[in-house]
Amino acid sequence: MLQSLADTWWAWIVLGFALGVLEILVPGYIFLGFAIGAVVTGALVGLGLPASLPLLILVFAVISVVAWLALRRSMGVREGQVKIWDRDINDKP
């Protein structure tokens, strides 16, 4: 059963699009790296990457981390964009 899931390329693509929709609902570039990883893994399986489920999960994880780091570098916190707190929320005004 799990081996047939590993060979089903469209399941990875659907997972990627579902994670993309989740990214729209919960913004912050958290799920976008995972969505890119799932779509790329689905494309690799569709192109004929012969792999077992554990290897595909490893490929998904590596691609997701690389995509997340690239997104973080290109769209993350900008230079000088730091929140400075001048008072504690528990202090009385």
Q: Where are the domains of the chain?
A: 2-75
Q: In the predicted model, is pLDDT for residue 92 greater than 50? A: yes
pLDDT at position 72: 80
Task: Work out the pLDDT band at 18, boundaries 50, 70, 90.
Answer: very high
Mean per-residue pLDDT, 26-46:
88
Three-state DSSP at 90 gives coil
pLDDT tens digits for range 46-59: 888 777 888 889 99
CA atoms within 13 A on the CB side of 43: 9
Least confidently predicted of 32-36, 40-44, 56-60, 87-91: 87-91
